[in-house]
Amino acid sequence: MTGGGSGLGRAICRRLAERGDHVVVADRDAPAAAATADDIVGGGGSAEPLVLDVVDTAAVEAAIAEVDARRPLGTVVNNAGIAATTPLLTTGIEEVDRIFAVNVRGAYVVLRAAARRMVPRGSGSIVNICSTSSFTASSSPMVAYDTSKAALRMMTAAAARELAPTGVRVNGVAPGTMDTPLMRGLLGEAGTAALSGSRIPAGRLGTTDEVAHAVAFLSSADASYVVGHVLVVDGGWLT
């Protein structure tokens, strides 16, 4: 589980642990990864932290190989991602490169490394955390982010098509506006309230647990015939 130290990632880790998975909480923030793992263990679950930056290709490949050697991978969740609300005309190319390095290249490296271990066994589930921005442009100026998430959505479909005959399933979850510290930091309290009332038919922000349940379903045997699907969890935003 990449990006498991906070927000959506932490909620997904907790949910997978609740169903009995041993969760490897990967995050570049060591204290955050440890806090999530400790929280799971304290609640009776099984987890371990892993300090990992998905931008470091060699580190990702080595980490996945080592984890899989100890406990064969059953589910891998590509959750690490970054965003920025910078207008197109003033966005530095370094910022664009960083967003794509994490959201697209990092996700690709994790997916490829996981698939290399899963394919020989003929089983496994990979879930990519996309976004409603995979389908439509954000209200805020986020061209680089939106484009990266659209790329992740297509990566999900293309990888699913290629890997399905091997028994490895690839799917995605597309959260809408979730009630996380990151989102409240981007929007502010007034912006969050206005958005909830004007754009989201459900009239509220989504919870991280609601996304976690979607991930748990897609990675479970209950979704054994679900392949290449991106499940939208957005309170009706895309309508």
The predicted-structure confidence for 151-192, as pLDDT tens digits, reads as follows: 999 999 999 999 999 999 999 999 998 887 767 676 677 777
- pLDDT at residue 198, rounded to an integer: 76
- Domain region containing 105: 7-233
Mark whether 108 is an active-site residue: no
| Domain membership flag for residue 143 | yes
Check residue 186 and give its pLDDT.
66
Residue in 230, 238, 105 with CA at minimum distance from that of residue 156: 230
Q: In the prediction, which pLDDT does 216 show? A: 98
CB atoms within 10 A of CB 236: 12
The DSSP annotation for 145-208 comes to HHHHHHHHHHHHHHHHHHHGGGTEEEEEEEE-SB--HHHHHHHHHHHHHHHHHHT-TTSSPBPH
- The amino acid sitting at 14 is R
Q: Is the pLDDT score of 116 beyond 90?
A: yes
* Residues pairing with 231 in the sheet: 173
Instruction: Judge whether 188 lies within some domain.
Output: yes
Q: Is residue 96 part of a domain?
A: yes
Calculate the alpha carbon distances from 206 to 60, 121, 210, 235 in Å: 30, 36, 7, 7
pLDDT at 47 exceeding the cut of 80: yes
Instruction: Check whether 196 has a pLDDT greater than 90.
Output: no
Among candidate residues 226, 201, 204, the one with its CA nearest the CA of residue 215: 226
Maximum separation of any 2 CA atoms in the chain, in Å: 51
pLDDT given at position 189: 72
Q: Is residue 1 part of a domain?
A: no
d(CA 142, CA 144): 6
Per-residue confidence band for 208, with pLDDT thresholds at 50, 70 and 90? very high
Looking at residue 182, what is its pLDDT? 67
Counted domains in the chain: 1
Within a domain: residue 238? Answer: no
Q: Which DSSP state fits 92? A: -
Active-site pick, 5, 145, 149, 231: 145
* 61: CATH: 3.40.50.720
Q: Is residue 119 part of a domain?
A: yes
